[in-house]
């Protein structure tokens, strides 16, 4: 089982947050892919501590991706062997 974590923290204060930069769309896209990948789990997490670099996605036991866009998701999926 591979796990990809996605920060979906949203701040209403105006401070940077991953959700404000589109991470919920990224999480939803990964969750849709995971529906057909039984060995892939997507976890939505609160702040990962790198807010200014978001959206942030971390492969558990693997790389930490910053400034993620939909175009980057295939590379992340390739890392976990489901791309
Ligand atoms: S809000 Fe995503 S890392 Fe802090």
Q: Quote the number of domains for the chain.
A: 1
Our answer on whether the CB atom of 26 is closer than 6 Å to any ligand 1 atom is no
* Residue 30 scores a pLDDT above 80: yes
The confidence score (pLDDT) of residue 45 equals 97
CATH of the domain at 29: 3.40.30.10
Q: Please state, rounded to an integer, the average pLDDT across all residues of the chain.
A: 95
Percentage above 70 pLDDT, the chain:
98
Residue 51 in contact with ligand 1 by CB distance below 6 A: yes
What range defines the domain where residue 73 resides?
2-79
For residue 28, pLDDT over 80 is answered with: yes
Strand segments (E) across the chain? 2-7, 40-45, 57-59, 64-65
Give 14's pLDDT tier (boundaries 50, 70, 90). Answer: confident
The 8-class DSSP code of residue 71 comes to G
Are 57 and 10 a contacting pair, CB within 8 Å?
no
């Amino acid at each position: 089982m591979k796990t990809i974590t996605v920060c979906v923290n949203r701040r209403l204060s105006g401070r940077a947050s991953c959700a404000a930069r589109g991470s919920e769309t990224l999480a939803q896209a990964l969750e849709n892919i995971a529906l057909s990948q039984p060995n892939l789990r997507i976890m939505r997490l609160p702040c990962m501590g790198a807010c200014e670099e978001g959206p942030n996605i971390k492969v558990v036991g693997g790389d930490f991706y910053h400034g993620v866009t939909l175009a980057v998701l295939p590379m992340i999926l390739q890392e976990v062997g489901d791309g």
